[in-house]
Every structure is written in structure tokens, then in C-alpha cells.
Amino acid sequence: MSDSKFESRPLSVPSGRFARMAKFGGLASNLAGTAAINGMQQLAQGHRPKARDLFLTPANMRKVADRLAHMRGAAMKVGQLVSMDAGDMLPPELAEIMARLRADAHYMPGGQLKQVLNANWGEGWLKRFARFDVRPVAAASIGQVHRAQTKDGRDLAIKVQYPGVRRSIDSDVDNVAALLRLSGAMPKEMDIAPLLDEAKRQLHEEADYAREGHYLGRFADLLAGAPDFVVPGRHEDLTTENVLAMDFVEGVGIETLTEAPQAERDRVMALLVSLLFRELFEFRLMQTDPNFANYRYQPETGRVVLLDFGASREFPAAMTEAFRGLMRAGLAGDRAAIRQAILEIGFFAEDTAARHQQLMIDMFEMSMEPLHRPGAFDFAENDVALRMRDAGMALGQDRDFWHVPPMDTLFMQRKFGGMYLLASRLRARIDLREILAPYV
């Protein structure tokens, strides 16, 4: 669809709490009005439309995507997560429209950027730089990245947070949840309070650039002996709660590897899957954001560049060991042990209906199929993802099964799902069992 193309442009971020609430209110009224008109038209034609179908139209989804892209901050971040998690489950026209939220966001005009940097570095900060590119090299939901050279010779990537993001997180999350309720996309009876609380906590952490800088350093130390990876160095003298300064590292989008030789695609994907298992079982520290933009590739060196550690999450030893037990049970094909491990992790409870427990166990065994096949698993020639999606949709639509698992597992699942999508995009062939073996 030609009108679904997202065009990044300079656009001021609404930073006031009331200004953001007003935009949400206006959007909700607009959607409700459009749905009412559509409903009356369908009733006049003898149809009995569902509220969900009236709200989740291409036109309404386009309005939502445009408004969230304008607001940025937590509003856009939640929209990104919804579009990434549910993208394959949405009708193609809606998925295409929501995909714009995963593209580069609009960016701050020069005047607003200057105000943010004045507040963080003090007036006169430009004297420290030989060059500072006002047009960002990347713009996302929470901040944008500029390339700069200091007068002492450092080539830097400067990540600048949008104004008002931190103050608006709680209200943005609540307002997006209200929109989902209004649309009928979420069951009214479902208690999503734990999810909303965790989303707020996670977004507050991602908005703390001093915290991200800490984990940037942690991963640099953990991967110091891994020559296939590059982690940018952190520059403390220019890092604040709202600005993160790090080395500028050259690289191209990881998706460009789709045109690389099969052997190179396989090698890079094996590196990333191996890193995933190291994060879970060895580091007990995982960068949980699977956005492809967080991975770059250096064609001249073959190294993978790792970016954006705002969503880093530490896991307790008990949870890591529970997942180790689950993987062992899955490899052994022991359904009783699988059930016990899933119960310990919290994917379902003792009082969960037997049929729902069996469906969850079936889905897990389905996810283990690539590990049971001998040799390399071909991500381009399989239907496991489709069957998993269909099973997940069937379970999710069963209103008798509303269970929110522990938050750590949701973030971990997101990372695993993102790696699966990337491997499928690269049409990689890797021996998953061989990579997992040292950890179980």
C-alpha cells in the first residue's frame, strides 16, 4: 500500500504530560467516531458487526501508527512491541501499516535537540566538538543517535533521549492499554495489571542512559575474548541520564546478509544463537530486545556489532537452572519432566485445565523439533514457526486460558522469537543441537 510508507522527518516531540494525554484523547475519540459510523453503515446493510472488527480497520490502524510515531517515547515503544509480537497474526494490510513503527522514527528539530543538550551538557557544549551532525543517523522510540567528532579526536555516536519521555512513561502505557481495551483487541476480563507494571518498569530502565552505559560496559567485558563481536566503548565524560556517548562503529544492517553466501549467513547466525545461549546459561544477563537494528555487520572483518543495551535483564540462577532442566527434558522427549519444568517456570499453574497444560506441552515439543533433527536445521525450509503461531493463536483465543507467566520468561521468549525470525530472514542452516549441547 503506497500510503503506508513511513517517511522520517523533523517533528517536535510533545513533551508535556497534558499535551500527550490530549493527543491520546483525541485519537480515542476519532477512532470511536469512525467505528460508530462504520457500525451504523453495516447495521443498515443487515450485518451485526463485532466491536473488534469496527476498530481494527486499516484506516484506524494507520491513524494509531501515525499518532504513536509522532509521540514517540513509551507510546511508540509499546506499539512496536505489539506489532513485533503480533505482526504475523495480523491481516497483511494491518501488519504492513503497523510495520512503520519498527522503521526509523521522526526526529527532533535542531532547536529542540539544542535545548536537550544544553540541559545535559550546559551551554557552550559545541566548543568540545570538531563536528556534530544535527541530522541523526538513526531515530527510534526513546531517542535518536548523532555522529560527532570531539576536538581530542574521538569518533562518537551520541544517543540523545527525547524530552519528556521519562515523565510520560506511566501515562503513555496506561493510555495505550486503554486504546487496546477500547478496540476489543484485549479481553476486558483479563488482568493485565502485572504486564502494565512490568512494561513501565522496563521502559523506565531503558530510559536511563546511565544504566544502559553500565550494561554496555558489562557486555564489553563479557565479550572481550570473543573476536567475532564488537561492542562500542562507552565515554563517561559525555554520558548522562539522558545522553549516552559511545564509539561510532561502522557496519551495515544485519539484514543485508540475505545476499551473502550461504556459509557466511550460517556462520553469523550460529554466532548469534551461541551468544543467546551464553547470555541465558553462562552470563545470566541478556539483551532482550530482538530488534534487527540492534545488530550490525562488518563485511570487511566478518564481525557482528552489538548495539543498544537498554533492555538488558539479569536472570536469577534458579530460573536459568529451570530452563536448563526444561531443555534437557525436551531433548529427552520426557513429557512428565517437561510438564514439571514448565510448572516450575510458571508457564501454567497446578490448577490450569488439563487440556491447556497439554496444549502448552505440545507447543514446547513443537519448538524443540529443530533440536531433534540430525545435523543443520534449515530455517528457510520449515513450517515450525507457522505451526507454533497457529497453536499460540488457538490457545490465546480460548478465553478460559488467561495466564500471565513470569515477566522474565516473556522477555526471554521475545529474544528467542527474534532470533528465530532473523534466522528465517537470513535463510540460515545451523546445527542447533550442537550449539546447545555445552549448556545442557
289 part of the active site: yes
**Checking DSSP bridges between strand 303-306 and strand 295-298, what pairing results, if any?**
antiparallel
Question: What are 265-282's pLDDT values in tens digits?
Answer: 999 999 999 999 999 999
- pTM value is 0.77
Cα angle for residues 96, 264, 297 (degrees, 5° grid): 60
Would you say domain 109-161+208-249 falls under CATH 2.40.128?
Answer: no
What end-to-end distance do the CA atoms of the chain give, in Å? 47
What confidence tier does 85 reach under pLDDT thresholds 50, 70, 90? very low
Dist. CA 252–CA 393, nearest whole Å: 35
Contact 120, 240 (CB under 8 A): yes
Task: Classify the C-alpha dihedral 62-67-72-76 as positive or negative.
Answer: negative
Rg of the chain over all Cα atoms, to the nearest angstrom: 23
Neighbours of 169 (CB within 10 A): 24
Alpha helices in 164-299 (DSSP H): 165-183, 193-206, 209-222, 262-277
Res 3: pLDDT: 36
Q: Is 212 exposed, middle or buried (0-12, 13-18, 19+ CB in 10 A)?
A: buried
Res 399: pLDDT: 52
Percent over 70 (pLDDT), the chain: 67
What confidence tier does 84 reach under pLDDT thresholds 50, 70, 90? very low
Domain with CATH 3.30.200 in the chain: 109-161+208-249
Dist. CA 73–CA 207, nearest whole Å: 9
Q: How far is CA 410 from the centre of its chain?
A: 11
Question: Hey, what's the cell of 63?
Answer: 491513524
Active-site hit among 172, 266, 289, 308 = 289
Contact 426, 264 (CB under 8 A): no
Res 384: pLDDT: 75
Mean pLDDT for 29-49 is: 48
Query: 306 forms bridges with which residues in the sheet?
Result: 295
**Secondary structure tally for the chain: helices H, strands E:** 17, 13
Res 19: pLDDT: 55
Average of per-residue pLDDT values in the chain: 78
